[in-house]
Amino acid sequence: MSSFIDRIFGTKIEVDLANARFQGALSFERSQLEKCLLNEYLKKDLLVHSSSFIQFLQTNLTREEDQLIPLSEELACLNEYIELYKAIREDNFHIHYELPIEIAPLQIYPFMLFPIIQNAIQNGYNSMENYPIKIRVRITHAKVHMEVSNRVNHHIVNQGDNSFVEFYKQRLILHYPEGHELMINSNSNTFKATVTIHLNS
């Protein structure tokens, strides 16, 4: 009976792998074209930023999930993403970020650093100057290390339990099965996510 079911639905390993690929693809697509950013942009008359926003989208849409890009391009894209949010939300958005100036010639899969920042922006508390999102990216040898923290949004039960985080975990497992660490910590005031990815040149 079990072999008959396996022939129809596949083994548990095959099903789990297919599910991981599906969730990993969703994580990529959510970062490639973020609906929240697009919706907020369209609600405002931001012609002064239109060319940079369009260029940002065009570049993102050329990315392929399984095609490596230079780490320098990933970080440049991340910088643009943050600056666009700052332009759109203006005084209602507070974020401090530190990106490395000198970047080693390493390769990374596109948008691997985005989901936990998206989670902080969309699910964290960031509208007061005293409680900004804090982002720090460091490169050590062939590792990229990123810390993201934000003030807890008390309207959300658990910021670490949502599709941003769950789909991201699957994508990390698919692309860096033995080469990543993701740690999530939370208390009554602060949510913090830390990811380390081992890269290749």
At 43 the pLDDT is 77
> 126 with 191: CB under 8 angstroms?
no
DSSP code per residue over the chain: -HHHHHHHH--HHHHHHHHHHHHHHHHHHHHHS-HHHHHHHHTS--GGGHHHHHHHHHHHHT--TT--EEHHHHHHHHHHHHHHHHHHHGGG--EEEE--SS--S-EE-TTTTSHHHHHHHHHSB-SSTTS-EEEEEEEETTEEEEEEEEE--TTSS-TTSSHHHHHHHHHHHHH-TTSEEEEEEE-SSEEEEEEEEE-B-
Give the number of other CB atoms < 10 A from CB of residue 192: 18
Higher pLDDT, 38 or 183: 183
Instruction: Provide the pLDDT for residue 49.
Output: 61
Task: Say what the pTM is.
Answer: 0.86
Which pLDDT band holds residue 14 (cuts at 50, 70, 90)?
confident
Q: What pLDDT band is residue 160 in, cutting at 50, 70 and 90?
A: confident
**Rounded percentage of the chain residues whose pLDDT exceeds 90:** 54
In angstroms, the Cα distances linking 198 to 2, 149, 156, 193 are 39, 21, 32, 17
Looking from the CA of 104 toward its CB, the CA atoms found within 13 Å total 14
pLDDT in tens, 99-126: 998 888 999 999 999 999 999 999 998 9
pLDDT digits (tens, 9 = 90+) for 43-95: 776 555 677 888 899 999 999 999 999 999 999 999 999 999 998 888 889 99
Would you say how long the chain is, in residues? Answer: 201
What are the chain's domains?
A: 2-198 (3.30.565.10)
